């Protein structure tokens, strides 16, 4: 049931946006997820290094 709602939202977006707008939206979302993941991973690595030096 959950997949059905995700697919229906995707189809609604595809029909309501032109192809260029849809591609732009997908790339913007991908870019932000990439930035968030990179910042998060760097933060975790720095946190682990700072924890190791305090011991």
Query: Tens-of-pLDDT digits for all 55 residues of the chain?
Result: 556 677 787 777 767 766 677 677 778 878 888 889 899 999 999 999 898 876 5
Q: What pLDDT sits at residue 3?
A: 61
- pTM, full prediction: 0.48
Q: Which residue has the tokens 């968030």?
A: 36
The domain locations on the chain are 2-54
Cα–Cα distance, 55 to 51 (Å, whole number) = 7
Token couple for 7: 């697919």
Q: What pLDDT sits at residue 43?
A: 94
Token couple for 47: 């946190």
Q: Judge contact between 13 and 22, C-beta under 8 A.
A: yes
Q: Is 51 helix (H, G, I), strand (E, B) or coil?
A: helix
Q: What pLDDT sits at residue 33?
A: 84
Q: What pLDDT sits at residue 4?
A: 66
């Amino acid at each position: 049931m959950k997949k059905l709602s995700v697919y229906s939202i995707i189809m609604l977006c595809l029909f309501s946006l032109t192809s260029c707008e849809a591609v732009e939206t997908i790339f913007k979302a991908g870019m932000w997820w990439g930035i968030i993941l990179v910042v998060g991973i760097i933060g975790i690595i720095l946190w682990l290094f700072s924890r190791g030096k305090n011991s």
